Amino acid sequence: MKQAEIKLAETTINSKKVYSGSLIHAFKDKVRLPDGRQSVREWIDHPGASAVLPVFGNGEVQLIRQFRYPLKQTFLEVPAGKIDEGEEPLVTAKRELEEESGIRAKSWAPLGKFHPCIGYTNEVIYLYVAWDLEVAESKTDQDEFVAQVKMPFANAVEKVLRGSISDGKTITTIFRAANWWKKNKPFPVSNL
Amino acid sequence: MKQAEIKLAETTINSKKVYSGSLIHAFKDKVRLPDGRQSVREWIDHPGASAVLPVFGNGEVQLIRQFRYPLKQTFLEVPAGKIDEGEEPLVTAKRELEEESGIRAKSWAPLGKFHPCIGYTNEVIYLYVAWDLEVAESKTDQDEFVAQVKMPFANAVEKVLRGSISDGKTITTIFRAANWWKKNKPFPVSNL
């Protein structure tokens, strides 16, 4: 694999910030290709994010429904959000779970990370499953509108398989969480 | 759900193109929130893409390894690429499979679509599984460098579960393809 890394790698000749917004920071870099020629790569800088599937004692999971402006439709999602500067990904997951769904969890397991969009962003999303839940009150950001949706864990898996859950981070979180749960079984969940 | 759509929906007040590159087209929109207040949404316009898992008669699948500049590392991926204007997603999948891996497939099944990055892009990726493969020669774009990686289908699933395959579109394609294959079994694949 070392050999493959060397032969495929592109190196930066120079990097220029071409757009700096409140969310999106875009760069246009001149790069050296593996064969020595030059090319241009455009990419979005992202601070990373954390996402979590919260599982209740009765085997239900907490999802949320949000309107996503780029696609002009609502999506079923796991609670998730951007990592603040210097924040540990687990701290982000705990903060977002409480902000978006008003839930505090006593038990957490990491499900690794994944890369949602490798072609043009450097975003990494850290995934978790959480249980031993305590419900307080949600306190979403001023311009976030979120509907709470509970369903049996097995139904969420079924929705991922059927495609009615189509958000990448939610697919990957539920898929990994179901696999983790079957192996580790903190408590039994029906039909999983 | 209709009710939820209405209460969560944001409407465009105006839209401004803030960056127009060769790959990335960024917009900054002023929007009306569900409660009547205004906010700003930044988003990337994307033409959509297609991805395919090709399965050989011996139960191996064809993946590729590519260097992804935004993350400065190589990834194991399914063959995939952007939809040309007016192109049918299946035509894109066939074109990219031949360009990236030099493979033509006689049999195709759709695995639905998914949304890799709903927070800030409108990208949709159409997923396929393909078999009855014929290997010709790959003809990648001038600035694309691609290594061919074959492995048993079951190993690819294992890599998704373990997290060593971490690209979102590849995770979702392999996950859905494995589920589709178990149900439809065009031919037996060991350990799946």
Second-level CATH architecture of A49-184: Alpha-Beta Complex (3.90)
pTM of the prediction? 0.94
CB contact under 8 A, B44 and A21: no
Q: How many CA atoms lie within 13 Å of A65's alpha carbon, on the beta-carbon side?
A: 18
Burial of B114 (0-12, 13-18, 19+ CB in 10 A): buried
* Region label for A52, one of left (φ > 0), alpha (ψ between -120 and 50) or beta (otherwise): beta
Report the pLDDT averaged over residues A86-108.
97
- Per-residue pLDDT at A116 exceeds 70: yes
Mean predicted confidence (pLDDT) in B7-17: 95
Task: Read off the pLDDT band of B5 (50, 70, 90).
Answer: low
Are B163 and A112 a contacting pair at CB < 8 A?
A: yes
pLDDT tens-digit series, residues A5-46: 558 999 999 999 999 999 899 999 999 999 999 999 999 999
d(CA B22, CA A43): 11
Model pLDDT, residue A6: 57
On chain A, the residues whose CB falls within 8 A of the CB of B8 are 65-67, 74, 145-147
Task: For B158-181, write each residue's pLDDT tens digit.
Answer: 999 999 999 999 999 999 999 999
A103 has a pLDDT exceeding 70: yes
Q: Across chain B, what does the average pLDDT equal?
A: 94
pLDDT at B144: 76
Q: Using one digit for the tens of pLDDT, what is the confidence trace for A36-61?
A: 999 999 999 999 999 999 999 999 99
In chain A, % of residues over pLDDT 90: 91
Q: Would you state the pLDDT for residue A144?
A: 76
Average pLDDT of A100-120? 97
Select from A77, A191, A84 the least CA-distant residue to A127.
A77
Cα–Cα distances in Å, from A190 out to A55, A63, A154, A187, B25? 12, 18, 7, 10, 46
Q: What pLDDT does residue B154 have?
A: 98
B1 pLDDT band, cuts 50/70/90, is very low
Interval B96-147: pLDDT, tens: 999 999 999 999 999 999 999 999 999 999 999 999 999 987 667 777 789 9
Min Cα separation A55/chain B (Å): 20
The domain segmentation of chain A, as residue ranges, is 2-45, 49-184
CB–CB contact A44 B24 (8 Å): yes
Residues of chain A found within 8 Å of residue B173, distances taken between Cβ atoms? none
Q: Which stretches does DSSP call E strand in chain B?
A: 11-20, 25-32, 38-45, 49-54, 60-68, 73-77, 80-82, 103-114, 125-135, 146-152
Q: What is the pLDDT of residue B7?
A: 85
Contact partners, residue A178, CB within 8 Å, separation at least 6: A153, A157, A192
Could you report the per-residue pLDDT of B22-35, keeping only the tens digit for each?
Answer: 989 999 999 999 99
pLDDT tens-place string over residues A66-96: 999 999 999 999 999 999 999 999 999 999 9
